[in-house]
């Protein structure tokens, strides 16, 4: 199994029959207004949601995102300080000896495939982009090991370009609640970006990822969910509803572009 952006087919939990009943291609998706209400409520439940990968510049975030395929962010964050200390930019990693890289990233899993991907990606950056990370989806997804999810992470967090990354958590959360209707990440991305203003995209993806990790897990903690009363999964399984959302939802704040750490403080930023 390759590492290009998960391409998972397990986004909707196979453990719950209600998930299967709600995963049909013809299922009605909530309106744009309802989608925005859900995202606003989840944003209040997870204020300040952001990627949990530690990075100092676009190149570091791109490498870390590739390493995060089928690995935890915590595990990646343990491996990247040593990797970036030895290979601080695309030119250095492009010239790396694979065995040396493998030893540094072994703990992230699939380390041979990931080594080939990050070295190949770095070589492509040097050959095609002067060692710099491009600022477009089309250019990013042509790099080895980079698919739409990884590209959206980099664009949204390091470039200030709106992008909504769909991982397995976003697939599960959106299909359960009923704000998307597909197990294909690109289709879910299209449905969500069609319902949300571009300025919301990056934060919405981060918020739903955190919600999937903390609350809407494979075995969900529905009693803790801020959108319990709006959730199709909750209704399908007969779980008790919480009180309706109180009052009008406040507008989600505009996504602030994260300022990459300077070379002098990267190590401090990663601690």
Predicted pLDDT at 55: 98
Select from 213, 185, 191, 182 the least CA-distant residue to 42. Answer: 213
pLDDT band at residue 29 using 50, 70 and 90 as cut-offs: confident
For the segment 30-60, what is each residue's pLDDT rounded down to a tens digit? 899 999 999 999 999 999 999 999 999 999 9
CA distance 34 to 30: 6
Q: What is the mean pLDDT of residues 98-121?
A: 97
Long-range pairs for 75-84 at CB < 8 Å and ≥24 separation?
75/107, 75/108, 75/109, 76/108, 77/52, 77/53, 77/270, 78/107, 79/104, 79/105, 79/107, 79/108, 80/54, 80/55, 80/270, 81/267, 81/270, 84/56, 84/60, 84/266
Predicted pLDDT at 238: 84
Ranges of beta strands (E only) in the chain are none
CA distance 86 to 89: 9
CA distance 238 to 206: 28
For the segment 194-232, what is each residue's pLDDT rounded down to a tens digit? 999 999 999 999 999 999 999 999 999 999 999 999 999
Predicted pLDDT at 242: 60
Q: What is the mean pLDDT of residues 65-72?
A: 95
Indicate if the pLDDT at residue 269 is higher than 50: no
pLDDT band at residue 240 using 50, 70 and 90 as cut-offs: low
Q: What is the mean pLDDT of residues 162-170?
A: 97
Please name the CATH architecture into which domain 58-161 falls. Orthogonal Bundle (1.10)
Predicted pLDDT at 33: 97
pTM exceeds cut of 0.85: no
Residue 181 CA, distance from chain mean position:
18
Please name the CATH architecture into which domain 17-45+164-237 falls. Orthogonal Bundle (1.10)
pLDDT band at residue 8 using 50, 70 and 90 as cut-offs: very low
pLDDT band at residue 266 using 50, 70 and 90 as cut-offs: very low
pLDDT band at residue 144 using 50, 70 and 90 as cut-offs: very high
Predicted pLDDT at 28: 58
Q: Where in the sequence numbering do the catalytic residues fall?
A: 149, 167
Per-domain boundaries in the chain = 17-45+164-237, 58-161
- Collect all residues with Cβ–Cβ distance below 8 Å to 2 and sequence separation of at least 6: 113
- Positive or negative, the CA dihedral 158, 163, 166, 170 is positive
């Amino acid at each position: 199994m390759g590492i290009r952006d998960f391409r998972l087919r397990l986004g909707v939990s196979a453990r719950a029959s209600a998930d299967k009943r709600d995963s049909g291609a013809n299922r009605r998706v909530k309106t744009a207004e309802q989608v925005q209400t859900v995202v606003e409520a989840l944003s209040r439940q997870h204020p300040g949601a952001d990627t949990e990968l530690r990075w100092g510049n676009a190149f570091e975030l791109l490498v870390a995102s590739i390493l995060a395929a089928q690995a935890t962010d915590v595990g990646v964050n343990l491996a990247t300080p040593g990797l970036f200390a030895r290979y601080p930019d695309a030119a250095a990693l492009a010239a790396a000896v694979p065995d040396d890289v493998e030893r540094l990233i072994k703990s992230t899993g699939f380390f041979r495939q990931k080594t080939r991907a990050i070295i190949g990606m770095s070589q492509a950056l040097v050959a095609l982009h002067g060692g710099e990370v491009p600022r477009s989806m089309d250019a990013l997804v042509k790099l080895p090991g980079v698919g739409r999810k990884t590209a959206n992470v980099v664009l949204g967090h390091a470039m200030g370009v709106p992008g909504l990354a769909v991982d397995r958590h976003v697939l599960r959360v959106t299909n359960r609640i009923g704000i998307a209707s597909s197990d294909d990440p690109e289709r879910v991305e299209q449905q969500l970006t069609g319902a949300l203003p571009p300025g919301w995209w990056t934060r919405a993806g981060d918020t739903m990822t955190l919600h999937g990790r903390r609350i809407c897990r494979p075995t969900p903690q529905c009693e803790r969910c801020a959108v319990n009363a709006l959730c199709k999964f909750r209704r399908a399984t007969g779980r008790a509803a919480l009180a309706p959302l109180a009052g009008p939802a406040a507008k989600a704040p505009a996504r602030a572009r994260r300022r990459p750490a300077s070379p002098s403080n990267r190590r401090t930023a990663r601690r």
